[in-house]
Amino acid sequence: MIDGPEYEGKPGVFLSNTKSSRAKLTADKLQRPADHGLQWAA
């Protein structure tokens, strides 16, 4: 599960928000989901 108080128990919210804003995310923030096994479609 993704850690963080704003997403505790709400991984779907985290994934939705991350996916919709991934073009604006820093490499550091994109790495976090990848560390948990998430692979974005090309």
Per-residue confidence (pLDDT) for residue 9, from 0 to 100: 67
Per-residue confidence (pLDDT) for residue 7, from 0 to 100: 55
Q: Is residue 41 part of a domain?
A: no
**Spatial separation of the C-alpha atoms in residues 22 and 9, rounded to whole Å:** 21
Q: Is residue 19 part of a domain?
A: yes
Average pLDDT of 5-26? Answer: 76
Residue range(s) defining the domain that contains residue 14: 5-35
| Secondary structure percentages of the chain, helix, strand, coil, to 5 | 60, 0, 40
Q: Is residue 27 part of a domain?
A: yes
- For 22, the 3-state DSSP assignment is helix
Instruction: Share the mean pLDDT of the chain.
Output: 75
Enumerate residues 6+ apart whose C-beta is below 8 A from 18.
25, 29, 33
Task: Assign 12 a pLDDT band (cuts: 50, 70, 90).
Answer: confident
Q: Is residue 40 part of a domain?
A: no
Q: Is residue 26 part of a domain?
A: yes
Q: Is residue 14 part of a domain?
A: yes
Domain total in the chain: 1
